[in-house]
Structure 1
Amino acid sequence: MENKNNKIAVLYVDDEENNLISFKATFRLKYKVYTAISGAEAIDLVRENPIDIIITDQRMPEMTGVEFLEEIIEIDPEPMRILLTGYTDMGAVIDAVNKGKIFHYLNKPWSEEELDQTIQRAYEVYAQKKELLETYSKLELSNEQLEFLLRQKLLS
């Protein structure tokens, strides 16, 4: 699934360079892939590029995946968020859901098929959400126009 003329923009954040290389090699033909080795680098990428899906590792130095996602929500709440972790850390998963507003949680190492399906499902939800927001925006404009016409009618 692609948005209009562009590939789905996916940002993968992990402090292990080999994981970044593997992700990019696996998905570069199907998606527009951005990678970042730290939360700070990823934040800069989100500020500079339209991103549809964000996938982040939980355990990173300087900033956890959940802390990174919390900051991303402040910058751009639109992208769908997916958390990866190699550890069974229920506290991190709960924080990811409550604070990072994640769409999905996956264990590392990820399988190509499962991650691809998760990206596809996340993008479907993302596209539906964008469509609903556009419809809502059009309805708000129509409502304002109707209110204006009604005021004009009442004043005349």
Structure 2
Amino acid sequence: MKNKKISILYVDDEENNLFSFKATFRLKYKVFTAISGAEAIELVKNNPIDIIITDQRMPEMTGVEFLEEVIKIDAAPMRILLTGYADMAAVVDAVNKGKIFHYLNKPWSEKELDETIQRAYEVYTERQKIIETNAQLETSNDQLEFMLRQKLLS
């Protein structure tokens, strides 16, 4: 997993922000961009995404609404919310409904955003390991239960 490029989906209704993000991070990460929540949902359905970064203020679907929809499709990606407004209600919704990992103000600083992506990916990989371990434990438990039943029946 060390050599794998982190896949990031950046969602923003301002095309210049999409170009800027892609230009800044395309060499370091596998970058997907979407200009709307609906477009982003299709990308999540069809691509493995590790981290989602979304703007809050978008027409048709806010960042929080988009993240709520994403969770129904795939709860694994880490979620980061960006907004140019100090809208506390949106931040509270993002934490409670969109289950975000981190909240950043726009305009974002490359260094701060990159550090946040790195921290989010560390948490993401740890969560994936825990999920894998739990699946292995469930399998072992099922096997032991089966063996115990066989023993009791014989």
Q: TM-score range by the shorter chain?
A: over 0.9
TM superposition score normalised by structure 1: 0.97
State the shift of 1:6 in Å. 2.4
**Matching residue's letter, 2:39:** E
User: Structure 2 matches for 1:6-155, cutoff 5 A?
Assistant: 6-155=4-153
State the shift of 1:4 in Å. 4.7
Q: Note the aligned Cα RMSD (angstroms).
A: 0.7
Q: Secondary structure at the match of 1:33?
A: strand
Q: Secondary structure at the match of 1:132?
A: helix
State the shift of 1:152 in Å. 0.5
**Matching residue's letter, 1:46:** V
Percent of pairs with identical residues: 80
1:126 and 1:54 map into 2 onto residues whose CA distance is 11
State the shift of 1:49 in Å. 0.1
1:135 and 1:71 map into 2 onto residues whose CA distance is 27
TM superposition score normalised by structure 2: 0.99
2:35 and 2:4 map into 1 onto residues whose CA distance is 24
The size of the alignment, in residue pairs, is: 154
